[in-house]
Structure 1
Amino acid sequence: MRLEVKCNVENCKYWEKGDQCVADSIYVVGLNGREEAASVDETACKTFEEC
Structure 2
Amino acid sequence: MAKDVLCEVNNCKYWEHGNHCTAEAIYVVSHSGKQASKQEETDCKTFELEKH
Q: With the length of structure 1 as denominator, give the TM-score of the two structures.
A: 0.88
Q: By how many angstroms is 1:2 displaced? A: 6.5
Aligned partner letter, 1:20: H
Equivalent residue, structure 2, for 1:8: 8
Task: Provide structure 1 residue ranges, at least 5 long, that are not aligned to the other structure.
Answer: none
Structure 1 segments of 4+ aligned residues over 4 angstroms from their partners: none
> Would you say how many aligned residue pairs link Structure 1 and Structure 2?
50
Identity of aligned residues (%): 52
Equivalent residue, structure 1, for 2:39: 40
Aligned-residue RMSD, C-alpha: 1.5
Q: With the length of structure 2 as denominator, give the TM-score of the two structures.
A: 0.87
SS in 2 for 1:44: strand
Q: By how many angstroms is 1:3 displaced? A: 2.0
